Amino acid sequence: MTSVDTIATTEQTSLDGKEGWRRLSPRMLLVHPVQEAIRLLPAIAGLIFASLQGGRHGYWGLLAGAVAMGLGILRYFTTSYRITATHVQVRRGFFRRRVLTVPRDRVRTVDVSAHLLHRLLGLARVTVGTGQTDKRNEGVKLDGVGAAAAENLHRELLHHTAVPAPATAATAEAGPEKADPEIELARLDPAWVRYGPFTLSGLVAIGVLVAFGQRFVNEGHVNVTQIGVVRRGIDQLSSVPLPLAILEVFAATVVFVAVASTVGYVLAFWGFRLTRHPSGTLHVRRGLITTRSTTIEERRLRGVEVSEPLLLRTVRGARVLGIATGLRVGRGAERGGSLLLPPAPRAEADRVAALVLGDSAAITAPLTPHGPRARRRRYTRALLFASLVVVAGALLGWSGRLPWWAVVASLALLPIAVLLAADRSASLGHAIADGALISRYGSVVRRRVVLRTDAVIGWNIRETFFQRRAGLATLVATTAGGNQRYPVLDVPADEALRLARAAVPGLLEQFVVAE
């Protein structure tokens, strides 16, 4: 659960005392205008195309972009920060001055990232996680800090070194002290790139291209059907039967997604390294063009999650995510700070998860299945949905609104539903081992969650109408880290109570009435 006093925002026109305030690096003045220009690329491309066609559209969009560039430059002159023995303070704003104050004992993580332009200019972006795991909250951000100063920041905040008091910008840019020795837990093996095509991260590239194309069309008033490549593609697809055209589009999409996913894997995880610092922190470093370094306090670690997406599971791969307060989990496991191991062999994922937890028993412990009633519920739900789709398709085919080959193809949903239900029921399981609650569930993404029982701060027991009829319930463990809610799905109702009592003795007793 989040704490309402983790971040205190104070609006005022001035602060008492000016000692120790640091500015962002002046080199950031070159970063923000370029970033805004990159965002305007679709508008610029559309404007150029429209100008070649004799149009005069898009100038207002460029004017708005110029204003955004100016505001980005103004950010340097209105942003400063300082670190005292007790607080981290960030001061920003021109028309409305705001001071963001974070108690140092609330700092949970420090995330240092640098994209290509940052690296060329020796800059970095620092995000200080404060334990607020809301998807809308991303902690304290400093975009445009010198790379050396960024390294010093995470040493000051998480390694508990002496707090420096730089009086000048030159002192703030000074290099970090010699790092303490670290223990390496995992390092990227180049052979793991073979798991790239099975991550489906290339679908994001398709989304980006579609968004870019849509803005290009809107800004430049472009008729895409008149572009040569698009026109030839449409003509080619029009010359073949519809099923063959669909197959061609599907094959081209699969190839593109596989290649883009592999490239994305290399860009995101090249140079990956997971280490443990003697001060009690974990460090994750990764990235080829955009580098990222995340520091996590181990005492804030609530558990781990071994995640196996369906395609990755077919090649016996998995990834490891951390459950900790202060980690940003709302942006996905690949981009968020919770990733402790990229897609890798399942055996390696188990090894790393055991090293992070300090014990392998919870990773390898056998699980208790949820029984035949939970299995029947999986088959009923899967087949009911598939049957409704098939019946709807048959009605549309009978009315002439859908070709009959599509109706026949929809029958394939029935065996797919059976396979999905079998996999989902086989995934269900739970256990308590070595002070950890273990829950496994899911098919499209199978998750094995290992949550420390001393991190559980509450229980939710949910029973829908159909669950009550089947004598089942969903037990949800509430914690302050990660997604904050981790379920044990469709467990027998009496087993849900026994499990909650065994995990955290005494927590439920005041709410349970003996029959």
| Cα–Cα distances in angstroms (integers) from residue 404 to residues 238, 239, 376, 386, 411, in the given order | 20, 21, 32, 17, 11
- In the three-class reduction of DSSP (H, G, I as helix; E, B as strand; rest coil), residue 1 is classed as coil
Amino acid symbol at 469: R
Span 214-232, pLDDT tens digits: 666 665 566 666 666 667 7
> Is 392 among the domain residues?
yes
- In the three-class reduction of DSSP (H, G, I as helix; E, B as strand; rest coil), residue 100 is classed as strand
Count of domains for the chain = 1
> Is 411 among the domain residues?
yes
Domain hosting 387: range is 371-424
Report the pLDDT value the prediction gives residue 219, as an integer from 0 to 100. 56
Q: How many CA atoms lie within 13 A of 75 on its CB side?
A: 22
Report the pLDDT value the prediction gives residue 177, as an integer from 0 to 100. 46
Lateral strand order in the sheet of 80-83: 8-11, 98-103, 87-92, 80-83, 22-23
H or E segment at 258?
helix 242-269
> Is 247 among the domain residues?
no
Amino acid symbol at 454: D
Which residues lie closer than 8 Å to 321 by C-beta, 6 or more apart?
304, 305, 307, 333, 338, 339, 340, 482
d(CA 123, CA 115): 9
> Is 59 among the domain residues?
no
Instruction: Provide Rg for the chain, Cα atoms.
Output: 27
d(CA 89, CA 60): 37
Indicate yes or no: pTM above 0.75. Answer: yes
Report the pLDDT value the prediction gives residue 176, as an integer from 0 to 100. 45
- In the three-class reduction of DSSP (H, G, I as helix; E, B as strand; rest coil), residue 491 is classed as strand
d(CA 243, CA 155): 60
Q: What angle do CA 128, 130, 136 make, to 5 degrees?
A: 90
Report the pLDDT value the prediction gives residue 423, as an integer from 0 to 100. 93
CA 260, chain centre distance (Å): 18
Amino acid symbol at 380: T
d(CA 85, CA 65): 41
Give the closest residue to 393 by CA, choosing from 415, 414, 380, 408. 408
- In the three-class reduction of DSSP (H, G, I as helix; E, B as strand; rest coil), residue 187 is classed as strand
Report the pLDDT value the prediction gives residue 398, as an integer from 0 to 100. 87
> Is 386 among the domain residues?
yes
Provide the greatest CA pair distance for the chain.
Answer: 83
Give the closest residue to 274 by CA, choosing from 319, 330, 310, 326. 319
State which residues of the chain have pLDDT below 50: 1-18, 133-137, 161-179, 332-335
Report the pLDDT value the prediction gives residue 8, as an integer from 0 to 100. 40
Report the pLDDT value the prediction gives residue 61, as an integer from 0 to 100. 54
Q: What is the per-residue DSSP string for 109-174?
A: EEEEEE-HHHHHHTEEEEEEE-S---TT---EEEEEEEHHHHHHHHHHHHS-PPPP---SHHHHTP
Report the pLDDT value the prediction gives residue 326, as an integer from 0 to 100. 65
d(CA 437, CA 430): 8
Angle between helices 59-78 and 31-39 (to 10 degrees): 150
> Is 415 among the domain residues?
yes
Which own/partner pairs from 277-282 qualify as long-range (CB within 8 Å, at least 24 positions apart)? 277/159, 277/180, 277/182, 278/180, 278/181, 278/182, 278/183, 279/158, 279/159, 279/160, 279/180, 281/158, 281/159, 282/185, 282/322, 282/340, 282/356
Give the closest residue to 200 by CA, choosing from 252, 254, 123, 133. 254
> Is 414 among the domain residues?
yes
> Is 403 among the domain residues?
yes
Q: Is there a contact between 104 and 6 (Cβ–Cβ < 8 Å)?
A: no
Q: Is there a contact between 392 and 399 (Cβ–Cβ < 8 Å)?
A: no
Report the pLDDT value the prediction gives residue 513, as an integer from 0 to 100. 63
Report the pLDDT value the prediction gives residue 165, as an integer from 0 to 100. 40
